[in-house]
A and B are shown apart, each in its own frame.
Chain A
Amino acid sequence: MRQYFLILSAFLRMGVLSQLQFRGSLAVQAAGTFLLTGLEYLATLALLHRFGNLKGWTMAEISLLVGVVLIAFRIADALSHGLEDVGMKVKQGTFDRYFLRPVPIFLQLLGERITLRRLGGMVQGVVAMAVGLSLRPDFLTAGNLLFFAYCALCGSFFFLGLFAVRAAVSIWVVDGIEFMNIFIHGGRDLMQYPGTVYPPWVRRILIYAIPYLCLAYLPITARLGLAEARAEWIFAPLLGIVFFCICLMVFSQALRRFQSAGS
C-alpha cells in the first residue's frame, strides 16, 4: 500500500516538474482557466447585485460556498486527466498495457498527467473565499479555515469518485459519455448555491442519492449557523469519501468486465 503511494507521488512530481519547464505557456493556460471559472462567479455576483440575496444568503456566504466547491473541483480535475480519455485508450488499444504493470490501474491513471493549468481555477476558489471572508470578517478563524479545508478535501474525493464513474462508463460504452457532464459540471454548479434553491424532492435526491449538498452546503450551514441546521451535519462531508469508495468499486467492476479487442 505504502509503496503505491510512493509511486503515485513520484508520478505526480514528474508531471509537475515537466510542466514547470514551460512556464510561459503554463501561465497563459492557467490564466485562461482562471478567467473562465471567474466569469461564472462574476455572473453569480451580478445576479446577487440585482436581486440582493438568494434565499437569505448574501454575497459573503455564497462566496464561501463557491470557494470550497471550486477548490475541491479543481484538485480533482487536475488529477483526473488520465481518467478523462479512457474511452479513447480503449478504442486505440493502449488501455491494455495498464494491466501489465504491477500498480493498481486507478493510481496509474491518476498519476499519468497532473495538469497544473487546471489549478488556475483553484486560484478562483481562493479569491472567492477571500471575498467571502473579507465581507464577513467574523467568520475568519483558524478553526473555520481548517473546516473549509476539510470540506474541500472531502469534496475533491467526491469529484474524483464522479470522474472514476465516468471512466467506468466509458469502458462500457466507449462513446457518447457527454451526459456524464450533467453529473460532473452540473453538480459542480448546483453545489455553489444554497440547497433551499431546489424543490424539496430534488433536495432529497441531492442528499441521499448523490450527496452533492453534503459536501459544502450542509456542513457550512451547520458550522457557521447560517440557517436552522443540525450539529451532526458537520460530518456530512465524510459521505464524500464513502461515495468515492463506492465509485472505486464501480470502476474496478468495469475493469473486471473489460475485454480487450487485442492490440
Chain B
Amino acid sequence: MRTPFLAIFRLCFLEGMQYRAAAVSGALTQLAFGMLYIWLYRAFYASSSAPMPMSLLETVTYLWLVQALLLLVPWRGDPVITDSILTGAVARELLRPCGIYGLWFARVLGHRLAAISLRALPVLGVAWLLFPLRMPHHPLTIVLFAAALVGALLLCASLVNALHVCLFGMVSAEGLQVVFLALTSALSGQLIPLALLPDAVRPLVLALPFAGLLDTPLSIFLERLSPVEAGLRLAHQLLWAGILMWTARSVLARQLHRLVIAGG
C-alpha cells in the first residue's frame, strides 16, 4: 500500500541530489546573506545595553542555522505540481492507481530533503570555521533536534500541499503564492528570530503553524526550551501537520468530486 509513495520519495530524493551546481550557487548566496545579517545584528547588539531575550552568540548561531536550513521554509509550491494544476496536466496524474495527495507529499518530501542535505552541511561548515557558534551541551538535545527537523519537514510538505489544493480552483498562481511567501518567511523565524519579536505579538506567532518550520528546531538546538516546552513544541508541529494534511485531503476529495476534465 505504502510502497508507491516510498518509491516516489526515493526517486525524487535521488533526482534532487543531482542538482549540485544549483546547491553550490545556493550555498554561496546563503553565506553572503548570512554575513550581511551577522553584521546587522552585531550592530544592533552594539547599539543597546538593555538585556535581550537572546545573547549575541545565540543569535549568530540562530542566523547561521536559518541560512543552512532555509529550504525548510516552503516559499512557493513545487513548480512542476503547480504547473500541472494550472495547465490541467494534473488530469494525467489522477489516472495513476494511487492517491494524488500521497503522490504530491512524497514528491515534495523527496525534493526538499535532497536540497536541504546538499546545502546545510557546507553552509554550517563554513560558518563554524568563521564564527564561534553555540553548540548543544546535552546529548538529549541532538535527539530532540533531529525529531524537530523531521517534524519541520513534515510540516513544510503539508503546508506546500495545502497551497497546491488551494490552487485547484484558480487560473493564476501568482497572487496566492506571494501571500504564502510573505507568511512563511516572516513568521517562521527566517526574517527575524521569533524571540526578538515584540512581546505582544510573539504568543500569536508561536501558535501559528509557521513557527514550527525554523523556530522550533533552532530553539531546541540552542537549548532555550525546557524538555517539557520542547515536547510541547514538537507536538505543536505534528498537530499542525496533521490538521493541514487532514483538511487538505478532505478539501481535495471534494474538489476532485466536482472536477470536470475537458478532453485531453
Contact = CB atoms under 8 A, between A and B. Distances in A.
B192 A51 contact: no
A43 B43 contact: no
Interface string A178-220: 1101100010011001001111001000000000000000000
B26 interface: yes
A140 interface: no
A11 B44 CA distance: 45
Given A50-B52, A54-B44, A181-B29, A190 B181 contact: no
Interface in B27-51: 28-29, 32-33, 36, 39-40, 43-48, 50
Contacts of A49: 198
Interface stretch (A33-41, A81-89, A126-134): A33-41
A94 interface: no
B158 to A, nearest CB: 22
Contacts of B25: 176, 178-179
B47 A176 contact: no
Contact of A39 (B21, B29, B36, B185): B185
B22 A32 contact: no
A189 B192 CA distance: 14
Contacts of B186: 39, 42-43
Interface string B1-32: 00000000000000000000110011011001
**Interface bin, chain B:** 20 to 34
A27 to B, nearest CB: 9
Contacts of A28: 175
Interface residues of A, number: 36
Given A32-B182, A179-B28, A181-B29, A39 B175 contact: no
A47 B196 contact: yes
A193 B48 CA distance: 16
Interface string B45-69: 1111010100000000000000000
Contact of A182 (B29, B172, B182, B197): B29
B181 A36 contact: yes
A186 B182 contact: no
Most buried by B among A31, A176, A197: A197
B191 interface: yes
A29 B178 contact: yes
Contacts of B172: 25
Contacts of B39: 197-199, 202
A189 B39 CA distance: 12
The list of the 7 closest CB pairs from A to B, nearest first, reads A32-B178, A197-B43, A28-B175, A39-B186, A51-B48, A182-B32, A43-B191
20 contacts: A25-B172, A25-B175, A32-B175, A32-B178, A32-B179, A40-B191, A42-B186, A46-B196, A47-B192, A49-B198, A50-B196, A51-B48, A52-B50, A54-B43, A55-B43, A176-B21, A178-B29, A179-B29, A186-B33, A189-B36
